[in-house]
Amino acid sequence: MELKSYQYKVIRDLETYLEYVQQYKKTDRAFNLFWEERIGPYNPLSGEGMQPYKNTIPNAAHVCIKVPTAGGKTFIACNALHTVFSAYSAVMPRVVVWLVPWSNLLGQTVSALSNPAHPYRQKLNSLFNHRVEVYEKKDLLQGLNFNPAVVKEQLSIVVMSFASLRAKNKEDRKVYQENGQLASFASQYTNIGYLLQDVDETSLINVLRSMQPVIVVDESHNAESNLSVDMLNALNPSFVLDLTATPKNNSNIISMVPAIELKKEHMVKLPVIVYNHHDKTEVVNSALHLQRKLELLAIEQQKQGGRYIRPIVLFQAQPRIGEENITYEKLKRQLITIGIPQNQIRIKTATIDELRGEDLLSPLCEVRYIITINALKEGWDCPFAYVLASLADKSSAVDVEQILGRVLRQPYVTKHSASLLNISYVLTASAKFNDTLQNIVQGLQAAGFSDKDYREIDVMTETEKQAAIPGVLEQFLFPEKTGTDDPELDTNRINFDLGDTITPVANDSVLAKIEDMAIAQSAALQATINQQRTQPADEQIFEEMGDKIKRYKLVAAGKPYVAGIKLPQFYLNTGRANIFGTGREFLSQEPLLSLFKLSNEDIKIDFEQISSDLYKVDIEETGQSEYDARFTKIEDMVLKEPVVAYILAKPPSNQVKDIAHQLIKMIGDMYPIADQEIRIYIERILSSLNAEQLQDILVRKLSYADKIKAKIKQHADNYAEERFNDLIKIGKIEAEATWAFPEMIVPGMLGGAVSKSLYEREGLMNDFETTMIRNIAALPNITFWHRNLGRGKGFMINGYKSNHYPDFIVGTKLGKVILIETKGDDRDNSDSQAKCRLGNKWAELAGNRFSYFMVFDKKAIDGAYNADKARELIKQL
């Protein structure tokens, strides 16, 4: 199981933040600059920008990842642990406390992280060299396979509930009590400065505190209270990672995933089609027929090679004061009366759980209808749930937000051939339909989505609605009558034939409306996805942040010059239709490396010039209210000798595997190159070294990892460039004019004012860039210039290099468009040479209207120019 594209971007955001921490040494400064350079500084008056870092957990880096429901938060966290620990010293214990809010989620998490066949555990095993152990609180209290020796050698994940750390009852207080089973930790890990006062040093809480664990807080929106913050502080963490769809006020968000990214990756069933019926009988009738329609489509899809799907309806029964059981029991009886087999119906409430032990995804399971009230909340997943049918009183606003997220997850994370199987449905009969829609919006927001993600049909007339509303007043005046007049379903109007194996027609008009809207809205959403392919990578995030983003407009004088300009980018002709309906796709390095075998490349690397500096991250207190993230240079072998001796005592083959694993951790993900290819390549390198060189690597891993990573990147770039040129030669890659100047930009940090700029403000520039553009803008033939934005926000020359954003886009009076990439004279390296070749190839294929210049100050590489020569040539365009 590999990261989806948006999940990979989340990990890159985390890596970037940790790079800022390394550079600026303070967790708060790193966070603030991380966002300032991306969207600009925070303005407390206007609310623009990201709010400054909130130091609610002193002595720890504390950040939040915002991912909608079904976005794979747990899988992201598994990968994030590798990223975080890669920034830590190897001598720090790799201990994780994974906190969850509910007992059922605790069981699910323990099961997934412990099961060797589960993708989460498989990813952890891959990232941590199969040295992973998962514990529950009871395991640690008993000291089961938990001692200083094993902690040193593995990733230890302790899954606990929030409640277990709040010491509200006798069972929970065991965490704070003396524990002889953990006495062995006292001499090795318990630092007196980390111990809680009046709590024994052998207590579990003090043992965990002494190891400064990394904390993962799942569904962190449930952990905002002062009590929860105290709970986190009690663990003395070094790093806290919040995971939630709805971050709260104390969150330091470093990455957020827009809902449409999940739809692009087929993670969710969107949009949500909401149909408001005249009464509850119609709701049940439509639910039955819609389920049958979807199941028949699923059966046909399976015959064509698709996977098994059995669509499920969630019936939300009406709660009753004092006699709650009547509603769901009554509904079950009525469904059986209609002809639904009892084995297809289950009840799930706070007191009745007929789903226990049921594998709803199994082809052997017969459940198609689940009756609940509000028990199916967070922590319950069933991708086969398609329809939420609410049977609330007609005069009520349907309260669906608690369980709406349960029907959003897409079966098998794939786009299904039948479009109706890519959408979810809410059926209601509410006179207060507008209020119901607000509840649906709240439910979508609670799952990390928005009001853009649903479409509604309302067939209830205003007369019917007005007639139903007085019921609210009667319920208020005579509460003892609540529910007593609830009519039975009119079974004579439910014409459902269980044996019908043909697409349902009995409820044709309603199903036709639902189907027409579903198909139309699915197509509209796909069109939006197609359109977003040409937008900057961060634009969806900026839209989600709304008023927090400070945007700068095209100046009026510049609009006529760029109105008709579209810059070409490279597209690959695949020869086969894709999900966008064409045989062309935006070119990236990924398809160019599809046949790349790193394991076959040469392993000649010059290790002679490696620096001996070693760094580690250690979040530690430096003052009463300020905390640094210190990267301390290690000048001696004291901390490394035990690790070195341990590894070198092993047989040579094991030495190679252990050292390779440590280097892989430091090199990190190099998508699209497979982890296994990187492992084989590194093991080949290590196998060619002698014992003395292997020992040197163990002492200076970071420097060796940097050298190896650079070599891998060089091999990949060389292969991608060769493949790129081959595909151009045979006409498989073409330049297509698709990129247009946006109406507004988000430059982040602002540069100085220079005449003829295209936008109200332009992005930050260094001294050479500023001098260069001033000289170019002063030329009489120049009409406009724009500081092209990087990091996915501006124009990229795509191809065998994945990050070539030329510094400037310049226009002339003759309609020429010029891309300018500036380089300091010290940047005459292979990366610059490759970008120069790519830029010149782009200009060649883009047409006579476009030019590309790589410009150095005084000297220049082949294909580039110095500043004076470039200015002379541009003056003539």
Using one digit for the tens of pLDDT, what is the confidence trace for 557-601? 999 999 989 999 999 987 654 433 456 788 888 889 988 999 889
Question: Coil, helix or strand for 618?
Answer: strand
| Surface-to-core class of residue 691, CB atoms within 10 Å of its CB (0-12 exposed, 13-18 middle, 19+ buried) | exposed
Q: Among residues of the chain, what percentage have pLDDT more than 70?
A: 78
* DSSP states of 320-388: -SS-THHHHHHHHHHHHHHT--GGGEEEESSS-BTTTT--TTSTT----EEEESS---TT---TTEEEE
Q: Looking at per-residue confidence, does 428 or 633 come out higher?
A: 428
Which pLDDT belongs to residue 469?
A: 44
Which pLDDT belongs to residue 69?
A: 78
Residue 624 pLDDT exceeds 50: no
Q: Where are the domains of the chain?
A: 57-257, 268-486, 551-611+710-877
Q: Which amino acid is at 644?
A: V
pTM tops 0.85? no
Q: How many Å is the maximal CA-CA distance in the chain? A: 91
Q: Which amino acid is at 595?
A: L
CA dihedral 586→589→590→595, nearest 10 degrees, is 120
Residue 792 pLDDT exceeds 80: no
* DSSP states of 637-691: STTTHHHHHHHHTS-HHHHHHHHHHHHHHHH---TTS-HHHHHHHHHHHHHTS-H
The fold adopted by the segment(s) 268-486 is: Rossmann fold (3.40.50)
Question: Coil, helix or strand for 34?
Answer: helix
Cα-based distances in Å from 335 to 256, 339, 491: 43, 7, 9
Which pLDDT belongs to residue 617?
A: 45
Q: Among residues of the chain, what percentage have pLDDT more than 90?
A: 31
Beta bridge partners of 216: 98, 241
Which pLDDT belongs to residue 403?
A: 67
Residue 124 pLDDT exceeds 90: yes
Which pLDDT belongs to residue 184?
A: 82
Distance CA 851, CA 869 (A): 15
Residue 448 pLDDT exceeds 80: no
Residue 772 pLDDT exceeds 50: yes
Asked whether the beta carbons of 486 and 317 are under 8 A apart, the reply is no
Q: Looking at per-residue confidence, does 657 or 553 come out higher?
A: 553
Question: Tokens 């709406």 appear where?
Answer: 404
Of the spans 82-96, 241-255, 635-649, which averages the highest pLDDT?
A: 241-255
Across residues 211-231, what is the average pLDDT?
A: 79
The fold adopted by the segment(s) 57-257 is: Rossmann fold (3.40.50)
Residue 81 pLDDT exceeds 90: yes
Q: How far is CA 86 from the centre of its chain?
A: 20
Which pLDDT belongs to residue 629?
A: 46
Which pLDDT belongs to residue 476?
A: 34
